[in-house]
Structure 1
Amino acid sequence: MDICVIEGDGIGKEVVPAAVEVLKHVVQPLQVYQAYAGWDHFTETGEALPEEALEAAKQAGAVLFGACSSPSYPVKGYSSPIVRLRRLLNTHANIRPTTYLPIPTAREGVDLLVVRENTEDVYGGEEHVAEDGDTGTAMKVITRRATERVAHTAFRLAQQAHRNRVTVVHKANVLPQTDGLFRRVALEVAEQYPDIEVDELLVDTAAYWMVKEPTRFDIILTSNQYGDILSDMAAAWGGGLGVAPALNLGEGVAIAEPVHGSAPDIAGRGIANPTAAILSTAMLVRYYWGMNEEADRMEQAVYKALNQGNYTADMRSDNPVSTQQFVDAIISNL
C-alpha cells in the first residue's frame, strides 16, 4: 500500500506522524512518500502546493494531509493548498462521520455521515467585486454530472455500511434552478437504490434537527456549502471539531484530512490531539483500500484508549497525556 503524507503546518507536523505510526501497525507492507505543502512551505519557497507534492499525491492515490495555516486576507500567489489539491485530484465527495466518542462533550446514540459534493456550488471560486468595490458576487454552480456522481457515492456508502436512510438536503423552494436541480437529480439516483429509504429536508430545517435531535439522521446527502455547515454542526455531538475526521473521495484517489486547523498556539509542545488524524486515516483504510477489519481495529483502539482515561489536554485539563502517550496507548490496544 502506498500513501503520500503531507504534514502541512502547525500541529499537522505532530498529528500526521502520529497517525502514520498507528497505520504502520495495521497495514503492511506500507510505502510512505513524504511531500511538503502549506503556508510555511509557501513562505519559504513561494509555492503552497508544489508540483512535486501534487505528483506524489497522484502517484500514491492515497493521501494524508495535516492542517494548513491560511491567512484571512488575500496574499499574492497564495491559495489554500488543500482546496487546490481536492480540485486537481477531483475528489468529488467529502465524507464526514459523526459518531459517539467516550469523551465528555459527545452525545451517545449519534451515528451519522454527511456526504457533500466537493467540487462546485459557491465554493467553486467564481467570485467578483464590482469596480466601485461595493458589490461582491459569487457564482453558485450545480451540475447534473457532479450531483449524480456524489449521489451514487452516498447511496453506495449506505449499502456498504448497512445504513437504511439517505436524507437529501437542499433549498429548492428558494433556489429552484440550482438546488432544484440538485434535488431532482439526487431523487432520480435514489430510484436506482430501492433498498435505501430516502427523504428530504430544507437546509434550515435540517439545521434545526441537527441541533434538536441529531439521532434522526443516518446519511445526509447535500451540496458543498450546506454540507460544510451541517457537518461542522454535527461535529459538536461527536466531541467537537478537534476530533472530527474527514475523507475526500474520488475515482482512484482519496485524501484523508482531519477537520481541525493548524493550532499554532500549541504547535511543537507535544500536546496536540491526534484523534482526528488517526480516525481520518482509518476512513482511508476503509473507504479507499476497502480494508474494513483493519479500519475497525484502528477505530476500536482509539475508543479503548479514551475509555481507559487517556485524554489530551483539549479533552480534559486534569492529568492529560501527551500526543505520544496517547499514540502509545492506541498501539498497545492494537
Structure 2
Amino acid sequence: MYTVTLIPGDGIGPEIISVVVEIFEHMNAPISWDLVEAGEKVIEKYGTPLPDYVIDSIKKNKIALKGPITTPIGKGFRSVNVTLREKLNLYANLRPIKSLEGLITKYDNVDLVVVRENTEGLYKGIEYKIDDTACTVRVITKNASEKIAYFAFKYAKENKRKKVTAVHKANILKITDGLFLEATRKVAKEYSEIEYEEKIIDNMSMQLVLNPEKYDVIVAPNLYGDILSDLAAGLIGGLGLAPAANIGEDAAIFEAVHGSAPDIANKGIANPIAILNSSIMLLNYLKLNELAEKLQNAISATIKDIDSLTPDLGGKGNIESIKNKIISFLD
C-alpha cells in the first residue's frame, strides 16, 4: 500500500480530484490518500496558501497528486506551484503531449514530451522597481542546466525516444542561454545514440505549429518550457487533456497543467481527463504499470464517445458522464 498526499486545490480542483479518488477505488489501486488542504481556502486560517503541513506531508510520503491552485495575477501571494517546486527541489517538469484517437483536432500524429527546468530562470521571482522602471533577474546555473539535460536524455533512452531538442535564445541571451546550451551539449556527447539538435525559441514555436510530428523530447529552461508545453497542449485538444509531473530526487508531485477555472467550479462541467492522465503518470511512477495501462485504455475508449465528453472537448456531457463512462470501460 502506498500513501499519497492529496491536495484538492481551488476552483474545479475538488471536483476533478474526487473523480480520481473514485476511479482508483473502483480499480482497487493500492493507494491510501493523505488529504491536505492548500490554496485560497486556507489563507484566512493560516495566513498563507501553503501551510507547513502540506510540505511536511509531501516530504513524508514523497509523492503527491495536486489539483489546480489559484495564482493571483500581478498582486497577492506567490505561486504555490513555484514555491512547492523550489522547496522540494522538484527540478524536472515532465509534460507528455500525445494525440488521442477519436478526438477531432488539427493534428493526429503528435507524440512528444516537454522536459522543463523547474527551479530557476525568471521563476526565481527576483524583481525590483526603481522609480518607473521594473527589473527582474534571470538565474541560469550550470548545475541545474546539466541536471535537466541528464533528465531529458535519460528519459529519452529509457522510453526509446530518438531525439532531444534543446530550446534557447542564445543568439540574444548569450550568457544565460549560452550556459544552458553548454550544459546540454556536454550531456548530449554522453548519449551518442540519441540525435541532438538545438532550436531558437521563436523558431521552435513556429515549428511546433507547422510540423509537430518532427519532435520527440524537448528540453528547455523554465519559461520556454512553460510556454511550449501549453502551446503543444493546444495541438492535441487543449489543457483539459494535458498531464504533468514535477519530479525531484526525493519527491514527486503530479498535477494537471490547467488552472483552477473558478468560473466553471461546481457547475458539473469540469473536464477531469488531464488530472486522470496525471494520475496515470503517478501509477507508472509507482511501478503500478498494469493499473496505469488499464486506466489509459478506459480513457482512450471514453474519448471516442463524444456524447460523454465535456463541452470543452466538443461534447454535451459533464464530469459525471465522463467518470461513469470510464468506469464502465474498466469493468
Q: How does the TM-score come out when normalised to structure 2?
A: 0.94
Q: Is the 8 A contact 2:165 2:197 kept in 1?
A: yes
Aligned structure 1 segments of 4 or more residues deviating by more than 4 angstroms: none
Aligned to 1:176: 174
What SS does the corresponding residue of 2:219 show, helix, strand or coil?
A: strand
After superposition, give the CA deviation of every residue in 1:86-130 in whole Å (9 maximum; x if it has no partner): 111111011111111232235200000000100001111111111
Shift in Å at residue 252 of structure 1? 2.7
CA gap 1:47/1:279 in 2 versus in 1, 3 angstroms:
same
Q: Is the 8 A contact 1:105 1:240 kept in 2?
A: no
2 CA distance for matches of 1:314 and 1:175?
Answer: 38
After superposition, give the CA deviation of every residue in 1:110-154 in whole Å (9 maximum; x if it has no partner): 000000100001111111111x1x111111111111111111111
Q: How does the TM-score come out when normalised to structure 1?
A: 0.94
Aligned pair 1:230/2:208, yes or no?
no
Q: Is the 8 A contact 1:22 1:278 kept in 2?
A: no
After superposition, give the CA deviation of every residue in 1:55-90 in whole Å (9 maximum; x if it has no partner): 111111111111112221322xx2222221111111
After superposition, give the CA deviation of every residue in 1:210-266 in whole Å (9 maximum; x if it has no partner): 111111110001100111111111111111112211111111311111011111111
2 CA distance for matches of 1:107 and 1:299?
Answer: 20
Q: Is the 8 A contact 1:48 1:79 kept in 2?
A: no
1 CA distance for matches of 2:28 and 2:247?
Answer: 20
What SS does the corresponding residue of 2:261 show, helix, strand or coil?
A: coil
2 CA distance for matches of 1:176 and 1:295?
Answer: 43
Q: Aligned-pair RMSD on alpha carbons? A: 1.5
2 CA distance for matches of 1:186 and 1:25?
Answer: 43
Aligned to 1:6: 7
The amino acid of 1:80's aligned partner reads S
The amino acid of 1:16's aligned partner reads I
**Map of 1:293-332 to 2, 5 A cutoff?**
293-309=290-306, 310-317=308-315, 320-332=316-328
Aligned to 1:16: 17
1:207 aligned to 167, 182, 205, which one? 205
Aligned pair 1:159/2:160, yes or no?
no
The amino acid of 1:164's aligned partner reads K
Q: Is the 8 A contact 2:244 2:255 kept in 1?
A: yes
2 CA distance for matches of 1:294 and 1:169?
Answer: 34
Aligned to 1:268: 266
Aligned sequence identity (%):
41
1 CA distance for matches of 2:227 and 2:73?
Answer: 18
CA gap 1:294/1:33 in 2 versus in 1, 3 angstroms:
same
Aligned pair count reads: 327
1 CA distance for matches of 2:24 and 2:174?
Answer: 45
Aligned pair 1:120/2:120, yes or no?
yes
2 CA distance for matches of 1:140 and 1:191?
Answer: 27
What SS does the corresponding residue of 2:183 show, helix, strand or coil?
A: helix
Structure 2 residue runs without a partner (length 5+): none
The amino acid of 1:113's aligned partner reads V
